[in-house]
Structure 1
Amino acid sequence: MPELRVGQRRFQVAAQSNLLDALLGNGINVPHSCRAGSCHACLVRCVEGEAHDRQPEALATDKRAEGWRLACQCQVVGDLSVEPFDPQRDGLAAKVMAVDWPSPQVLRLRLQPARPLRYRAGQHLLLWHGDVARPYSLASLPGEDDWLEFHIDCRQPGAFCDAARSLQVGDSLRLGELRGGALQYDADWQTRPIWLLAAGTGLAPLYGVLREALRQEHRGAIRLLHLAHEPAEHYLASELEALAEAHANLQVELITAAQLPAALAELRLVSRQTLALLCGQPKALDSFARRLYMAGLPRGQMFADAFLTHA
């Protein structure tokens, strides 16, 4: 049986064991969330030995060269020594600049990193509060906002969102890996119609992408649809309405779950050049994608980022 080592601790584990399960099963606290290689909460560094990586493309080349792996995607095939990601050593410090509740269930968090962070609208970042980690999409716009902004859905309990409820201005967090995500604005899209379909806090990255498109003076029509459980949860309603008033090519629709079937039925493809960016919980994304496909939008012109359930 392979030997798994973490610091001075040694364990015998079954060959082909999932690395994350082996670590958790032996009392090593490794944050994890999606188990699909998307959230990157379970980063570990291989110090000696090598695991079988089922999804090597999930990490950037430079991260892999440094020995980093996603524990949820690795199998133990031989003796292996690993070092879990340490936010105090490996992460970037950030201070809470502002925290408020734009709706009863959404916490808006603004952070100031210890050094400037290069990112693009639509990316997501791993946030650490103590030993709890969770990826969140950036709602801020690089080069315009002086903070990193995140929208945290607190409708359901979760280790990070429960801890975030008590955050105050001046508190410290740590930042982990910055991820690409599927959502971004491409300057080549200038004249193409764009549909932005968001469910809940799936609005966060699309809010950044929308403002990036408007900053680049997008000339095509932009249609944004925000699905919320109830009207009070359209937490950026005033900001979106102000943007729509300032930009004639932007149409904003705020709908609830009860209004969703009718709203989707009204989606009509007016151009084969239309692009759609979707973000939110998988169930909502499936509804969006099915309707867009039925309306004639090719799947290659849909870009989606699913928000997975809290661990």
Structure 2
Amino acid sequence: MPELHVGERHWSVPAGSNLLDALNQAGVAVPYSCRAGSCHACLVRCQGEVQDKQPDALSPVQRQEGWRLACQCQVTGDLQVETFDPRTDGLAAHVLRADWLNPTVLRLRLQPEHNLRYQAGQHLVLWAGRVARPYSLASLPQVDPYLEFHLDCRLPGEFSDAARKLKVGDSLRLGELRGGALHYDPDWQARPLWLLGAGTGMAPLWGVLREALRQDHQGAIRVIHLAHDANGHYLAEPLAALEASHANLTVELWTAAELTEALAQLRLVSRQTLALLCGHPASVEAFSKRLFLAGLPRNQLLADVFLPRG
């Protein structure tokens, strides 16, 4: 059987094993989220034999340096693995603000040690010590003088437990900037735009919405936020403020109990509509199915999913 080597440790794994699972099961903490090669949280450097399902997910320079996405690799031979080290590979940042938007959603505002070029809707891996988790940016570049993240802390988890203890001035490290499926394109300006978020899936859409308004989007914009209950609509007030000041914007706040009936009543006003979806996979799938049934072409739907982690 192939052997994995990480530092001074080495152990055997069955040929064909998923590299991410093999590392985590052996206690080598490698963060992950999407498991689809999109979030890049599971970046590792490899020397040896792997079968890479998504060789184009990384740049030629990254691949030449040995970087791979562990979730997309199968072990086919002996392999030396070097995990991402935030102390040397990450960007330093400190906490400007840590406050609760509701009892379960923590808003973090961070100041990186130097300016970070990004687009609304992208995401970063946040490192607190050796604990990491990818989070979408809710901030707006060139407008917000900080990086903002909305953390769902309903359930216990290594990173959320650490995040609850963060104070102003505390240090974190930032991993690779990724994403881009959720974004705003100026060419969309005249088209109807739907933003459908579940839970903290509203975070990247909050940035995308403000970018669309900043660029004076002319088409109708419909925002739907799905939450477990009414208390989960943590952006209700700022969304209402934007709705009051923009005639082309409508905001709908749905709860899980209302989802089935609300989806059944969902109708497209134009086949030119563009839909951006984000949240738990089950919620994204429910939104997607209904939109497809309503006649939305598949290439006009952009989605990102948040996988739960314990």
TM-score range, shorter chain: over 0.9
Shift of 1:222: 0.3
Match of 1:170 in 2: 169
Secondary structure class of the residue paired with 1:242: helix
CA shift digits 1:4-36 (9 cap, x unpaired)? 332344444443333233334544333344444
Whole-angstrom CA distance in 2 between matches of 1:107 and 1:26: 31
Give 2:23's aligned residue.
23
Q: How many residues align?
A: 310
Other-structure match for 1:203: 202
When the two chains are superposed, the root-mean-square deviation of aligned CA atoms in Å is: 1.8
Name 1:42's counterpart in structure 2: 42
Structure 2 gap segments, 5+ residues each: none
1:144 corresponds in structure 2 to 143
Farther-moved stretch of structure 1 (141-150 vs 49-58): 49-58
Partner of residue 103, structure 1? 102
CA contact (8 A) 2:33 2:306 kept: no
TM-score normalised per structure 1 = 0.93
Residue of structure 1 equivalent to 2:248: 249
Residue identity matched to 2:19: L
Q: Is the contact between residue 181 and residue 305 of structure 1 (CA under 8 Å) also seen in structure 2?
A: no
Structure 1 range deviating more: 18-27 or 209-218: 18-27
Structure 1 segment 1-311 matched on structure 2, within 5 A? 1-46=1-46, 48-311=47-310
| 27 and 291 in structure 1: CA distance in 2 versus 1, 3 angstrom threshold | closer
Q: Counterpart amino acid of 1:190?
A: Q
Quick one: structure 1 residues 15 and 228, their matched pair in 2 at CA, closer, same or farther if it must change by over 3 Å? Answer: closer
User: What SS does structure 2 have at the residue aligned with 1:49?
Assistant: strand
Secondary structure at the aligned position of 2:177 is classed as strand
Once residues 301 and 74 of structure 2 are traced to their aligned partners in structure 1, the CA distance between those partners, rounded to angstroms, is 33
Contact map agreement 1:39 1:134 (CA 8 A) in 2 = no
Partner amino acid, structure 1, of 2:284: L
1:246 Cα deviation after fit: 1.3
What SS does structure 2 have at the residue aligned with 1:97? Answer: strand
Amino acid at match of 2:21: D
Q: How big is each residue's C-alpha offset from its partner over 1:103-159, in whole Å with a ceiling of 9 and x where there is no partner?
A: 111111111011111110001111111111111110000000001100011112222
Give the AA of the match of 2:246. Answer: H
Question: Contact 1:16–1:76 at 8 Å: present in 2 too?
Answer: yes
TM-score normalised according to structure 2 size = 0.94
Q: Indicate conservation of the 8 Å contact 2:38/2:179, yes or no.
A: no
Distance 1:191 1:15, change over 3 A: same
Contact kept, 8 Å, 2:39 with 2:179, in 1: the verdict is no
